[in-house]
Structure 1
């Protein structure tokens, strides 16, 4: 539902009080167009907000959503690929989706629509019960404590044992900005007629940071490329005459400071985390060496997603010798991407920006960066943190389970 909140407040069916059903991807496997947590709203007249697959399964989801509104029940629809039945509803890309569909509470929809003003980059999380009505909005997922939440306790039936079990599974998802299914034993215990409590968690943290050091042509090209990938981009340079140039105004933040001091101060203030990317483009030893020493220390604790430095192979060797002489360990140097970027034959600043961002993406996903045509198996590797514990259907193109 988080993906729909920016537009939900202006969606006419919800504003006019029409009955609606919400369909959410709660598990996925293989190559799929949209990630877990993606939602779609369907009104009682068949109007649609959002998309789950770009067209492969939407028609079937709308039909199931209308049925859900008619009978008031929830459904779990499974969509896969069927080579045997070319006309089956499924995913031509070969992936598999589990889509949960349930009638939406009008009051909750109105409340979700009111959250649109927070902006797409604001921290926010949503915990929904799939086996029963109810949801909890979490304003600060990075610091959420389940035991201190009266709203969560009410959602779980005010059972302390269930709340304690929920905390162990919910809090890592919320703090990591991830989506996932959480299944909890209901107060009925082992009674086979009692359904488990099923929660779906969506968590969104503030945009990760990209710190670009060195105000030059390459930085001017990398700034918009980083923003396109969803990073909050900061440009830092010690020289005011450089950072003050108009071409760098696209950066979210401009800092005129010695790079290593700026990075250390940001870390001290708690504004650096394991999603932060550091790109050193100045290739000037008086800036680079102290900055890289600081960055490589931070790469181990609290952690950085990526540290890259621009320069030729010769300058890289000189840089490594200088860092070793100043006490940087060989193990720490293994975390340095230098020369920065992938070998794409890049020449212009714009091409270099593509090379750098490609390496960041590959590093972030632990990917090979090899051409897709040379590989085999699913194109999109499955991230265990982004799939549910349920078992996906592999044979039928579509199968449904109705929850009563």
Structure 2
């Protein structure tokens, strides 16, 4: 849902009622992963996607039904050989979709009493959409399996630990949900979490879908060369906040790097020392100069970042490894270095090389092998984080 937050926040501000369908579980070769959403307003306008086309029509009708009834619903879509012409995912996967109506057109809580659960949920979801649209760090947890009447209830958790809304059960359920949601928010992950019956204290386990909204992950490109300009462009397409850093002011200019979010003139290792980086950060060293890249890599390979890659020939790489060993790095730290940087695509131009580097970063992030899918027997979608957070069944 938060992947279309800007549009839904605009709808909410305009007082437009809508229903939002969110993928809460995916298995097999499903085209979209948990958190992907499609929303339909009262006029029939649609935004987003849950399947890339396979089941959009059926989900659209579910959204319209939820707007009519005001009730959330959970449906499973999948493909079966014996039912090839039914609505399903022809790619062979299955998805579970939660449909939640969000009333924004007024009415408010009943006079003299507490807001109904649907009103509380709508208020929590619109607050989550507003936070995501502003680029704030926040997460929303929704019940996708639990006691009767609990489906779709929501809780918003902010970066400072504060929260809004309630799941409607015992206080222990909210407390446990906040704790689990904060853990995923810290990691910047969207996933499902099961709270056991003891933690939920409502007679049975509760499964939550936790969607996180965090600032874009960072890519820092060291070395103001033409390959860096091409990489910055590709990285922006992939959703990174891109910084280009070089100690030479004549090369580190806005005109040479129009796609970068930041251009920094500083010694690479000194700039890296000044930054607070997280586990999603990508560092690409394209400096081609030992006086720049050795002190930089000594620091980079000791940081808990997602990826460290360095450009250079195989001979340069071997020489660099010896210099790094002399500087005190151990074999475990050196094993983290992706060098020569990128996948073997036969790349020659800056644009092709940028694609090679980006492909390796995506493969590293998603657990891919980089081998051709044609003739392979590996799964098309194999995200380790997704496997860790998948629901077994919510039907």
Relative to the length of structure 2, the TM-score reads 0.84
In the other structure, the counterpart of 1:35 is 33
Query: Hey, what does 1:276 align to over in structure 2?
Result: 281
Q: CA deviation at 1:275?
A: 1.1
Q: Which residue of 1 aligns with 2:236?
A: 227
* Residue 296 (structure 1) aligns with: 301
Where do residues 119-158 of structure 1 align in structure 2 (5 Å cutoff)? Answer: 119=135, 122-130=136-144, 131-132=150-151, 134-140=153-159, 143-144=160-161, 149=163, 151-152=164-165, 154-157=166-169
Distance in structure 1 (CA, Å) of the matches to 2:389 and 2:74: 13
Match for residue 398 of structure 1? none
Structure 1 residue 372: Cα displacement: 0.7
Aligned position for 1:118 = 134
Shift of 1:137: 3.4
Which residue of 2 is the match for residue 105 of structure 1? 103
Q: Distance in 2 between matches of 1:187 and 1:342?
A: 45
Which residue number in structure 2 is paired with residue 396 of structure 1?
none
Q: TM-score, normalised by structure 1?
A: 0.83
Judged with a 3 Å threshold, the aligned counterparts in structure 2 of structure 1 residues 365 and 390 are, in CA distance, closer, same or farther, namely closer
What's the offset of the Cα at 1:69? 3.6
Residue 371 of structure 1, CA deviation? 0.5
In structure 2, relative to structure 1, the CA distance for the partners of 1:10 and 1:73 (3 Å cut) is closer
Please say if residues 233 and 259 of structure 2, whose CA atoms lie closer than 8 Å, have aligned partners that are also in contact.
Answer: yes
Residue in 1 aligned with 2:221?
A: 212
For residues 248 and 32 of structure 1, what CA distance do their matches in structure 2 show?
37
- Counterpart of 1:397 in structure 2 is none
**Worse-matched range after superposition: 224-233 or 64-73:** 64-73
- Residue of structure 2 equivalent to 1:199: 208
Unaligned runs of 5+ in 1: 394-400
User: Which digits, 9 at most, give the CA deviation of each residue in 1:267-286, with x for residues without a partner?
Assistant: xxxx2111111111111111
Secondary structure at the counterpart of residue 240 of structure 1: coil
Change beyond 3 A, Cα 1:24–1:312: same
Give the 3-state SS of the residue equivalent to 2:141 in structure 1.
Answer: strand
For the structure 1 residues 264 and 228, does the alpha-carbon distance in structure 2 shift closer, same or farther, using more than 3 Å as the test? same
Moved over 6 A (4+): none
Offset of residue 335 of structure 1: 0.8
> 5 Å matches for 1:5-404?
5-11=5-11, 15=14, 17-18=16-17, 20-106=18-104, 108=123, 111=127, 114-115=130-131, 117-119=133-135, 122-130=136-144, 131-132=150-151, 134-140=153-159, 143-144=160-161, 149=163, 151-152=164-165, 154-157=166-169, 159=171, 161-184=172-195, 185=197, 189=201, 191=203, 197-244=206-253, 246-266=255-275, 271-298=276-303, 303-385=304-386, 390-392=391-393
Deviation at 1:392, TM superposition (A): 4.3
Deviates more, 1:58-67 or 1:327-336: 58-67
Asked whether the equivalents of residues 81 and 92 of structure 1 are also in contact (C-alpha less than 8 Å), the reply is: yes
- Is contact 1:7–1:116 with CA below 8 Å preserved after alignment? no
Q: 1:313 to 1:168 in 2, by over 3 A?
A: same
Shift in Å, 1:4:
2.2
Paired residues of 1:30 and 1:381 also in contact (CA < 8 A) = no
Q: How many residues align?
A: 371
CA distance in 1, matches of 2:271, 2:321: 22
**Residue 202 of structure 1, CA deviation:** 0.8
Q: SS of the counterpart of 1:98?
A: strand
**What are structure 2's unaligned runs of at least 5 residues?**
105-121, 145-149
Cα 1:116–1:333 change in 2 (3 A) is closer
